[in-house]
Amino acid sequence: MSIIKAIILGIVQGVTEFLPISSSGHLSLFQHFLGVSGEGSLLFSVLLHLGTLIAVFIVFYKTIIGLVFEFFSLIKDIFTGIFKFKKLRGKKKMLVMFFFSCIPLLFLLIPVGNGMKLMDLLGGLGEDDSILAEGICFLLTGVLLLSSTYYSKQNQLNRSVNTLDAIAIGTAQMFAAGFPGISRSGSTISTGMLCGVSKEYMVQYSFILGIPAILVANAVELKDAVESDAQLELLPTIIGITVAAVSGVACIKLLQWILKRDMWKYFGYYCLILGVITVICSIFGL
Share above pLDDT 90 across residues of the chain, in percent, rounded to a whole number? 44
Tell me the per-residue pLDDT of 104-162, one tens digit each, with 9 for 90 and over.
988 888 887 777 778 777 766 655 667 888 899 999 999 999 999 999 989 988 899 99
Question: At residue 272, does pLDDT exceed 90?
Answer: yes
DSSP 3-state assignment of 21? coil
Give the pLDDT of residue 186: 92
pLDDT at 15: 86
For residue 61, the tally of other CB atoms under 10 A from its CB is: 10
pLDDT tens track for 99-120: 999 999 888 888 877 777 787 7
| Average of per-residue pLDDT across 177-181 | 82
Question: pTM for the whole thing?
Answer: 0.83
DSSP H helical ranges for 103-198: 118-123, 132-154, 163-178, 184-195
Enumerate long-range contacts of 253-262, CB under 8 Å, 24 or more apart. Answer: 253/59, 254/18, 254/19, 255/18, 255/19, 255/20, 255/185, 255/203, 256/200, 256/203, 259/199, 259/200, 259/203, 260/200
